[in-house]
């Protein structure tokens, strides 16, 4: 297969499509969760509860922990593109990237006012690890990334708990989750905003740290950067072989990991051993399943000259990922929270999936319209403009 090198404008289409697909999955998951206002209606007829459970289980199996991981991987890829473009212009991008992460922190604070499940703050902080590793060799970066993905902190906690029976692991995010839930279900708009300034963010970010996402996100950022370096999102003999290898290896690895995740925890009596064990296995199984999804998606794209129609259909959604990520939360909380339509009380999985698809279609249509008139989404434009403030635009 002798494929010409793609133009830069074409090269990112598969990435934009994949990012749009990941964001769609995130929207569906957030709607199922009522944007962290968990409530399962018990007044539905039994047959409808069974259908709800079926869809809940399917969506969570396919996308929970995988959509976020895909988003994280592509964040690292985007860093490489920006770093590479700046280097071609003779610009050291590292300082600008640090400033860019501060700007992302500001976006996170705006987003967190509405929704207490923000991931942008985590990205803004963890993204800084790309600065010291961006000039290291591929093998070194790969070794660091794999080490982080193995969850070394959780291994340490698990081993310590195994030899120290009195060691107790507690979920420190729970009190903040309870407080946040009370406000989002019953509070006014201003009460929710005030709660999210502090309590909501403690809930969200402590949970992310305790769920192993700190190390996982750093590792995914680095792997995404390596995918950019190795040009694996460009169609070639090498990239096709690599993605086929990843797909096959992922399927082989996922089966035992899934069994370890489902069957082993019941036999672990010490909860302080079980908690880190569960985090490790869940993190690894999600990572492997994410690799299966990404490789399958990319190989499907490569099968056609410019991807399938359904893949191209979601490209605008991925191109405006920051705008759509923030605005889907603003729309969603207004639908489910107590100060809005308060639909968390009466919507099961089927209803929330329909709402999620509606939000997605509305945002997709807006994205297509906006990008027909502008090169970037509103928040993407502000982010880029502020990133290069005081410097000639590249």
Neighbours of 162 (CB within 10 A): 15
Residue 187: phi and psi, rounded to 5, are: -80, 165
The residues, ordered by sequence, that sit 6+ positions from 273 with a Cβ below 8 Å of its Cβ are 158, 161, 162
Rounded to two decimals, what is the model's pTM?
0.93
Let me know if residue 111 belongs to a domain. yes
Let me know if residue 123 belongs to a domain. yes
Tokens of 142: 């790969």
How many residues make up the chain in this entry? 394
| pLDDT tier, 393 (very low <50, low <70, confident <90, very high otherwise) | low
> What are 147-164's pLDDT values in tens digits?
999 999 999 999 999 999
Tokens of 132: 């010291």
Neighbours of 127 (CB within 10 A): 23
- Residue 348 near residue 305, CB atoms below 8 Å: no
Closest CA to 231 of 242, 222, 220, 217: 242
Q: What is d(CA 177, CA 328) in angstroms, rounded to the nearest whole number?
A: 21
> Where is 82: in which H helix or E strand?
helix 67-88
Tokens of 355: 């709402």
pLDDT of 172 higher than 90:
yes
> What are 282-315's pLDDT values in tens digits?
999 999 999 999 999 999 999 988 889 999 999 9
pLDDT of 8 higher than 60:
no
Q: Which domain holds residue 112?
A: 8-387
pLDDT of 128 higher than 50:
yes
- Residue 180 near residue 203, CB atoms below 8 Å: yes
Number of domains the chain contains: 1
Let me know if residue 393 belongs to a domain. no
The residues, ordered by sequence, that sit 6+ positions from 142 with a Cβ below 8 Å of its Cβ are 222, 223, 226
Let me know if residue 392 belongs to a domain. no
| pLDDT tier, 11 (very low <50, low <70, confident <90, very high otherwise) | low
- In the prediction, which pLDDT does 43 show? 83
Tokens of 375: 């090169």
> What are 364-379's pLDDT values in tens digits?
999 999 999 999 999 9
- In the prediction, which pLDDT does 89 show? 86
Let me know if residue 321 belongs to a domain. yes
């Amino acid at each position: 297969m002798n494929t010409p090198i793609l133009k830069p404008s074409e090269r990112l289409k598969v990435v934009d499509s994949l990012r749009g697909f990941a964001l769609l999955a995130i929207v569906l998951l957030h709607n199922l969760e009522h944007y962290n206002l968990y409530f399962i209606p018990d007044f539905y007829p039994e047959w409808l509860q069974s259908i709800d459970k079926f869809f809940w289980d399917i969506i969570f199996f396919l996308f929970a922990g995988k959509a976020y991981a895909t988003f994280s991987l592509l964040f690292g890829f985007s860093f490489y593109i920006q770093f590479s473009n700046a280097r071609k212009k003779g610009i050291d991008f590292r300082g600008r990237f640090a400033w860019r992460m501060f700007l992302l922190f500001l976006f996170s604070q705006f987003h967190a006012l509405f929704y207490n499940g923000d991931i942008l703050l985590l990205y803004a902080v963890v993204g800084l690890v790309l600065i010291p590793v961006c000039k290291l060799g591929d093998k070194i970066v790969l070794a660091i990334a794999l080490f982080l993905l193995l969850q070394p902190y959780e291994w340490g906690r698990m081993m310590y708990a195994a030899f120290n029976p009195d060691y107790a692991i507690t979920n420190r995010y729970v009190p903040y989750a309870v407080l946040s839930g009370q406000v989002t279900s019953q509070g006014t708009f201003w009460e929710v905003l005030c709660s999210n300034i502090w309590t909501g963010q403690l809930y969200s970010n402590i949970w992310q740290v305790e769920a192993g996402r700190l190390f996982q996100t750093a590792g995914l950022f680095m792997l995404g950067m390596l995918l950019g370096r190795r040009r694996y999102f460009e169609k070639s003999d090498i990239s096709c072989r690599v993605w086929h290898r990843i797909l096959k290896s992922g399927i082989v690895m996922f089966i035992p990991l899934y069994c370890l995740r489902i069957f082993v925890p019941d036999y672990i009596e010490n909860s302080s051993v079980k908690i880190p064990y569960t985090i490790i296995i869940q993190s690894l199984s999600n990572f492997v399943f994410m690799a299966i999804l990404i490789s399958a998606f990319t190989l499907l794209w490569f099968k056609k000259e410019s991807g399938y129609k359904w893949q191209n259909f979601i490209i605008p959604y991925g191109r405006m990922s920051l705008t759509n990520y923030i605005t889907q939360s603003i729309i969603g909380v207004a639908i489910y929270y107590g100060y809005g339509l308060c639909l968390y009380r009466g919507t099961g999985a089927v209803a929330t999936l329909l709402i999620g698809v509606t939000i997605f279609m509305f945002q997709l249509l807006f994205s297509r319209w906006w990008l027909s008139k502008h090169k970037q989404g509103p928040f993407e434009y502000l982010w880029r403009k502020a990133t290069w403030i005081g410097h000639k635009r590249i």
